Amino acid sequence: MIVPITLYSDEVLHRKALPIEGVDADIEELVGSMFETMYNAPGIGLAAPQVGRSLQLLVVDISCMKEYAGAKPMVVINPRIIASGGGYLAMEEGCLSLPGVQGDVVRPATINLQYRDEHFEERTGEFSGMFARVLQHEIDHLEGRLFVDRLKKREMRRAKKDLDALVSGRFSASYPVASAPVAVAQA
Ligand code: ZN
């Protein structure tokens, strides 16, 4: 099921997500929805808070990129970056929760990751290139951190106008987005 994607001003994107204790039918369904929602947007990564669920879960599929045509879709649960290296790289990032906003983000080139997969099996792996980039972006989401929180001053100045436009509702997205939660009216 394609579900609406939460936007920048949504509080769920700014808090730490809770660890998952096991993969049950609810989590399986959520994973399916997240892939469907990501492919529909289209995007190459999506974290659970972006569909309104504050859980340590993300999905990635970068196989639409030429150099990664053979890459398999990944389900990542309760990730922990245990090491990073390979120097730092700047790369332009965007986010489905911040339509119209882009900026260069500096991140380590390589990460070592400990996580659980879709079967809740414990895994470790070293990731570089686009995998390292997307995984770090999505793991940030689980910490309540967005790529704009990592922009250097000059990059932030460049992104500010688009971010202001987004906050005031002047943006367009080719996929369903969630309206920011408002105070619940009493029935
Ligand atoms: Zn994002």
pLDDT in tens, 26-45: 999 999 999 999 999 999 99
Q: Is 92 exposed, middle or buried (0-12, 13-18, 19+ CB in 10 A)?
A: exposed
Residue 136 lies in a domain: yes
Query: What is the structure's pLDDT at 118?
Result: 98
Q: What is the CATH number of the domain that holds 115?
A: 3.90.45.10
Distance 185 CA to ligand 1 centre (A): 30
Query: What is the structure's pLDDT at 131?
Result: 97
Instruction: Provide the terminal-to-terminal Cα distance of the chain, rounded to the nearest Å.
Output: 29
Query: What is the structure's pLDDT at 182?
Result: 52
Residue span of the structural domain in which 25 resides: 11-167
Which portions of the chain are predicted below pLDDT 50? Answer: 183, 186-187
Distance 9 CA to ligand 1 centre (A): 13
Query: What is the structure's pLDDT at 180?
Result: 63
pLDDT in tens, 11-28: 999 999 999 999 999 999
User: Minimal CA–CA distance to 102: which of 160, 178, 145?
Assistant: 160
**28 classed as catalytic:** no
Distance 126 CA to ligand 1 centre (A): 21
DSSP track, 161-187: HHHHHHHTT----SS-BPPPP-PPPP-
* Total domain count, the chain: 1
- Coil, strand or helix at 51: helix
Residue 97 lies in a domain: yes
Q: Which of 21, 93, 118, 138 is catalytic?
A: 138
Residue 106 lies in a domain: yes
Query: What are the beta bridge partners of residue 106?
Result: 90
How distant is the alpha carbon of residue 144 from its chain centre? 10
Residue 62 lies in a domain: yes
Distance 62 CA to ligand 1 centre (A): 14
Distance 95 CA to ligand 1 centre (A): 4
The whole model's pTM is what? 0.94
Q: Are 27 and 20 in contact (CB under 8 A)?
A: yes
